[in-house]
Amino acid sequence: MNSKLSVRRLTLSAMLLAVGLLLPFLTGQIQHIGNMLCPMHLPVLICGMVCGPVWGLAVGAVTPLLRSVLFGMPVLMPMAAAMAFELAAYGFVSGYLRRRLPKTLPMLFLSLIAAMLLGRVVWGLVSVPLYGVAGKGFTFSLFIANGFVNAIPGMILQLIAVPAIVTALEKARLTN
């Protein structure tokens, strides 16, 4: 990989990390609205697709933990810890599939949907022990409610915004 491309990916990843830290302020730090719109998910999914799976994984793992330490939301344990695994999976899967599949709009949507689903499964799997350690129960109904039903507005936002932004970045040749 050439150094110009490496610098571009590092720069885009840093910018998307910053967006991931700041975008939740649009929800006014109101946890219920943030849970519905999933604002940290957007830049992580974009990062994976435009910078690659390794950068997507790194930005996904760091964003919720850093946001928790800096701003107190999401709460570090168990929420931010579980989200770190979830967002790392989003970034990795979206980047991996975007690199492996043809660069068409249908394949972009397939990469996005697969990342959204697998990330939520990862979140559910790691939430069981993390919520248990925190002295809270994590049930299948909680997984379905928080992972899917309550997140429908965020999923719709992701299905609209991510393909539009990734396509624009690719057309501007800011990706490889």
**What value does the mean pLDDT of the chain take?**
91
Cβ proximity of 31 and 47 under 8 Å: no
Task: Give the pLDDT confidence score for residue 32 in this predicted structure.
Answer: 67
Burial of 164 (0-12, 13-18, 19+ CB in 10 A): exposed
Number of domains in the chain: 1
* Residue 119 domain-assigned (yes or no): yes
* Residue 28 domain-assigned (yes or no): no
- Does the pTM surpass 0.85? The reply is yes
User: Per-residue pLDDT averaged across 89-105, rounded?
Assistant: 97
* Residue 118 domain-assigned (yes or no): yes
118-162 tens-digit pLDDT:
999 999 999 999 988 888 888 888 899 888 888 899 999 999 999
Ramachandran sector of residue 97 (left: φ over 0; alpha: ψ -120 to 50; beta: rest): alpha
- Evaluate if residue 52 carries a pLDDT over 90: yes
CA distance 116 to 90: 6
* Residue 68 domain-assigned (yes or no): yes
* Residue 78 domain-assigned (yes or no): yes
Domain that holds residue 151: 46-171
* Residue 36 domain-assigned (yes or no): no
Cβ proximity of 123 and 85 under 8 Å: yes
CA distance 96 to 45: 11
- Evaluate if residue 1 carries a pLDDT over 60: no
* Residue 19 domain-assigned (yes or no): no
